[in-house]
Amino acid sequence: MTKILKYLKPYWLSIVLAFGLLFGQATCELTMPDYMQNIVNTGIQNAGIESGVYQQIREKTLNSYLMFANDSEKDLIASAYKLVTPSKATKEEKAQIPALKTENVYLLKDIGEEKESKLNNTLTLLQMTMVEVSKEAKEQNVQIPQLLMMNGIDSYRKAAKSEISKLGDSTVSSMSSQFLKKEYTDLGMNMEKMQQDYIISSGIKMLGYALGSAVCAILVGFLASRIAAGFSKDLREEVFEKVTHFSNENLNTFSTSSLITRTTNDIQQLQMTIVMFLRIVMYAPIIGVGAILHVIESGANMTWILALCVVVILSVVLLIFMIVMPKFKIMQKMIDKMNSVVRELLDGMLVIRAFNNEKIEEKKFDQANADITSISLFTTRAMAIMMPIMMFLMNGTTLMILWFGSKQVDSGMIQVGSIMAFMQYAMQVIMAFLMITMVTIMLPRANVSALRIYEVLSSEITIKDKSNPMDFSSSMHGVVSFKNVSFKY
């Protein structure tokens, strides 16, 4: 088949462009589950609060945190925030933060991602320390300053760190968002609007990626169709030109019906395969590998479910491939035989009617038709069995993800949105393998067709024109004359 693919060389630029569009489509497809995860986790569960770092915080709230901080943490917090008093606040700041009209508020500076990450961890630790201290103070019915003087702060900080490690990132993030939500509410900020703005913004971005994916898919389909149609046109011209130079010896090697099949059906098989290759085979590894990388980065300990599903899929495909591949070779020969019977029937119709042999010819056609129908039913049924198996595996994988994922959600390891995104990526991985397997069923038949076409193109022509024929002078003219010629019948 690789020898036939040289006819794709004129279309290499279109192929490269299609490959680039497939990358764009895959990028859009892989980005959408992330936005869905953010809408569920951040937009719905965390009220649109993206980070555990306060963007605005009242002076008295920050001072309550500083009670549990060590010197380095105090320095980090002091360098990250600037104090704004009601007298120095602008109208825009007071409109955004109503509490600035009556009390001092700290605003977050532009501190960079690395420092913001450290600040997030610090504030999370201080929040959990405050929870531990408040719990102990309530149990002993004493004030927090008095409790700290009695027991010190170190034991509570250790307990807070231990609790953070047990709860998992999902639960800790959710708890931090509750602290921030309460503070922003106390500042007089419109939390409902903040949540709606985040969800709408993420939804619009998600819709944009969906439209981008659709545009890329349409363009790739257009390019794939043009490339495959151009390839088949060039190949048909090459085969037809080759056949026009065949001698009787060459025509005895290939029957007329076989040459017709090779010029039409076989080239059509290659055209369909090239469309599928450009549209699916090139796309499936991109989306599959990308989805696997996202699954690994998700932190959900369920990658083994995907691995198990992929192994089962490949085993099923390999088994069907081994059964069906030999049948495709027989199928093309059956098509040749059927074309031969039809051609003989049409060419000898008058003679058949003269000798009243219609019934005999009908039996010959019925036999050829029954043979090709039988083998077509076998291959079609083998391919049809694969689809229910794949759907069963996909649904089984979904159930396993929900079963084991729900336990991780319950333990606080991941959030609901992460499970939803994991399911989307899992389906993308499975669909990638499924698309490849569907094409692999077509490849054996395409390979057989390519070999049959190559036999015609590579056949040696027995009668050739001389390489250096004599060139008659333009002044020389020949005359052909017929004398005493007669004809009767």
* 386, pLDDT greater than 80: no
Q: At what angle do helices 267-276 and 416-458 cross, to 10 degrees?
A: 150
The encoded tokens of residue 217 equal 């898919």
* 212, pLDDT greater than 90: yes
* 300, pLDDT greater than 80: no
What local confidence, expressed as pLDDT, does residue 165 receive? 78
Q: pLDDT category, 192, cuts 50, 70, 90?
A: confident
What local confidence, expressed as pLDDT, does residue 25 receive? 92
* Fold of the 4-9+224-458 domain: ABC transporter transmembrane region fold (1.20.1560)
* 188, pLDDT greater than 80: yes
- From CA 433, how far away is CA 288, in angstroms rounded? 7
* 412, pLDDT greater than 70: no
Element (H, E) at 152: none
Show the 3-state SS of 108-146: ECCCCHHHHHHHHHHHHHHHHHHHHHHHHHHHHCCCHHH
* 466, pLDDT greater than 80: no
Predicted model pTM = 0.72
Least confident segment among 112-121, 152-161, 208-217, 432-441: 432-441
Least confident segment among 10-24, 376-390, 438-452: 438-452
- DSSP class of residue 46 equals S
User: For the chain, how many residues are written?
Assistant: 489
Q: pLDDT category, 342, cuts 50, 70, 90?
A: confident
CA nearest neighbour of 284 among 177, 431, 460: 431
Q: pLDDT category, 208, cuts 50, 70, 90?
A: very high
The encoded tokens of residue 474 equal 């333009």
Secondary structure percentages of the chain, helix, strand, coil, to 5? 80, 0, 20
Least confident segment among 31-40, 106-115, 251-260: 251-260
* 299, pLDDT greater than 70: no
* 447, pLDDT greater than 70: yes
* 204, pLDDT greater than 90: yes
- From CA 416, how far away is CA 406, in angstroms rounded? 8
* 168, pLDDT greater than 70: no
Calculate the average pLDDT of the chain. Answer: 83
* 211, pLDDT greater than 80: yes
Q: What is the CA radius of gyration of the chain?
A: 38
Least confident segment among 52-56, 80-84, 411-415, 428-432: 411-415
The contacts of residue 483 (CB under 8 Å, 6+ apart) are none
Q: Give the DSSP letter string of 300-352.
A: -S-HHHHHHHHHHHHHHHHHHHHHHHHHHHHHHHHHHHHHHHHHHHHHTHHHH
Element (H, E) at 365: helix 358-411
Q: What percent of the chain lies above the pLDDT cut of 70?
A: 97
Q: What are phi and psi of 479, to 5 degrees?
A: -125, 130
Q: Residue with structure tokens 């490959």? A: 19
Q: Residue with structure tokens 């991941």? A: 414
What local confidence, expressed as pLDDT, does residue 230 receive? 92
Taking the domains of the chain in order of start, what are their residue ranges? 4-9+224-458, 50-188
Residues 342, 348, 349, CA angle at the centre, nearest 5°? 85
